[in-house]
Amino acid sequence: MASTSDLRVEKLFSVKDYVCVVTGGGSGIGLMASQALAANGAKVYITGRRVEALENAAKSHNPNDGGQIIPLGPCDVTKKSDLENLYSELSSKEKYINLVICAAGISGTKAEPNEEKATDLKEKLWSNETFEQWGETYNTDVTSVYFTTVVLLPLLQAGTETHGHLSASVIVISSMSGIMRHAQGHFSYNAAKGATVHLTKLMSAEFQKIRIRVNSIAPGYFPSEMTTSESDENQKSYVPDEKIQEKGHVPMGRAGRDEEIAQAVLFLTKNAYVNGEIIAVDGGVLNVVSGR
């Protein structure tokens, strides 16, 4: 039974001495998650396809005390060979991992289905998208999550053995888009994120046998390279409030903030009694736009 002093925030959410891996950790939500972990004492390996982005992120956002952000890569999470190399490199440096965050993703093609004649709608959707583009979106947003998690399972299980039952976990960055019925002009992306949501549930049920939890954060509109197509010299992106307000379905009237991702990451990392959950951090969008 916990004493009152055991319930202090610094005890509840400290990740001091945790070893974490974040894919897509060089920008956007992956970087927000990495900062949150490093700021609270974790050693965080970030990986991605662009070495310069990883190095910029580490240089700009390493905390002055405690944790670390360490670039590792390049790694293309859609290639088994890259993932095997990632596992080998991590295994040479660490005996265990406490947390993997799968944040790498792409938005895919866009075609707004706003035509009122079927012939016009067909022409727009047919000509703007291909099987190959759908495949690329699915491989990056879904299949890579599966193989990234699978390749790191031995290190994750070692993390549970080090820190206690079901303490090691995976956090999948899905999206509110995988829960809602509004296509947003992104049929391939929303369908892929719906699959990511379900994959999270499948892995949570199957991997609890080896004492690894799997949960997901489903973000709403957050500034990232995927939403703004750019990052500044610190690997950060910006979305003006007016851009969000124009959408007409975001009760908060602004994009999400780094701190709001950080709070969700620390909660799922530390609460060993949560498994298989999808936590929407969306500013209330799913109260306005119909979900499933």
**Domains with residue ranges and CATH for the chain:** 15-285 (3.40.50.720)
pLDDT at 263 over 90: yes
Averaged pLDDT, 226-252? 83
pLDDT at 31 over 80: yes
Averaged pLDDT, 113-139? 94
Lowest mean pLDDT among 22-26, 111-115, 127-131: 111-115
Catalytic site residue 189? yes
Which two structure tokens, joined as six digits, stand for 112?
């707004």
Active-site residue identified among 138, 189, 221, 231: 189
User: What are 83-103's pLDDT values in tens digits?
Assistant: 999 999 999 999 999 999 999
pLDDT at 27 over 90: yes
Active-site residue identified among 167, 169, 174, 231: 174
Q: What is the pLDDT of residue 83?
A: 98
CA count, 13 A, side-chain hemisphere, 221: 24
Active-site residue identified among 167, 169, 175, 193: 193
Catalytic site residue 174? yes
Q: What is the pLDDT of residue 185?
A: 84
Q: What is the pLDDT of residue 44?
A: 98
Q: What is the pLDDT of residue 292?
A: 67
Q: What is the pLDDT of residue 166?
A: 64
pLDDT over 70 percentage in the chain: 97
pLDDT at 183 over 90: no
Q: What is the pLDDT of residue 220?
A: 95
Catalytic site residue 124? no
Averaged pLDDT, 194-213? 97
